[in-house]
Amino acid sequence: MWYHTCMRNLIIGDIHATYDKMRSALDNAGFNPETDNLYSTGDLCDRGEKPIETLGYLMALPRFFPVAGNHDFWLYDAIRSKRPDPWWTDHNGGDTTWASLDNQSPEFIAGLKTWLGAFPLVRFLDRYIIVHAGPFLFQEDDLRSCCGLDIESTWRPQDRYGGISMDPRAEILCWDREYIYEALGIREKWKRCEIEPVSTDRTIICGHTPLRNVVHSDRFHLTGIDTGGFTQDGRITVMDLDTNEFFRNS
């Protein structure tokens, strides 16, 4: 393992409890937890086999700055409601994460809830906008108006049928794939409307949509860095925001 000695700004794509791949990608990037800022596109838990190790490591980092992903919402919802969304546990890998909490202390779970609840929907940096999924029909002013929103403030109690409920802005920024599909020229039969690029001088960095390689669209000001780390052949990607270098797990 080697560390850079000066502070850098890195961002890591969707982790999904793949602790070993995450650590390998960070090591290959020369991540120094004492000096580097580490941003994240969200989706930290489930699907992988080591949710507690992953969450514990990230919670302990002094300079970790995630945005809210849909899987982070599912975990927060399960803790708040004490009744996980079946769509999460049965179809999206949440069963392993939910079961793993049985062995954790009430203090750990309370701290996890508080930590997750503070995840913002969007982050603005000098050259970047970070969201989990995509802005759909948002423009830069719309995204700025969401800067004060986080998981806790946009979560809503489950109705009597169960299932996660949230502010519509969170649903777009944490779930929507139409913006990245438009940027990639992918046409879906359920496509709701034509989508215009966000008018911005910044690059929007997102995860959520697993792809074989990092993708970028100049026209849509979009870079997607979820490279499917939770799949057998997928990788975790780390991007240096200062140099635009990319690193992956070994």
Model pLDDT, residue 197: 96
First to last CA, the chain: 12
The single-letter code of the amino acid at 30 is G
Per-residue pLDDT tens digits for 67-117:
999 999 999 999 999 999 999 999 999 999 999 999 999 999 999 999 999
Q: What is the mean pLDDT of residues 136-148?
A: 95
Whether the CB-CB separation of 227 and 235 falls below 8 Å is answered with yes
* Residue 159 vs residue 15, higher pLDDT: 15
Rounded CA separation 48/63 (Å): 23
Distances, alpha carbon 2 to alpha carbons 11, 53, 141, in Å? 18, 22, 40
d(CA 27, CA 36): 12
Rounded to 5°, the CA angle 153-175-125 comes to: 70
160: pLDDT strictly greater than 80: no
The CATH H-level (homologous superfamily) assignment of domain 9-242 is: Metallo-dependent phosphatases (3.60.21.10)
Q: What is the pTM of this model?
A: 0.95
The count of other CB atoms within 10 Å of the CB of residue 5 is 9
On average, the pLDDT of the chain sits at 94
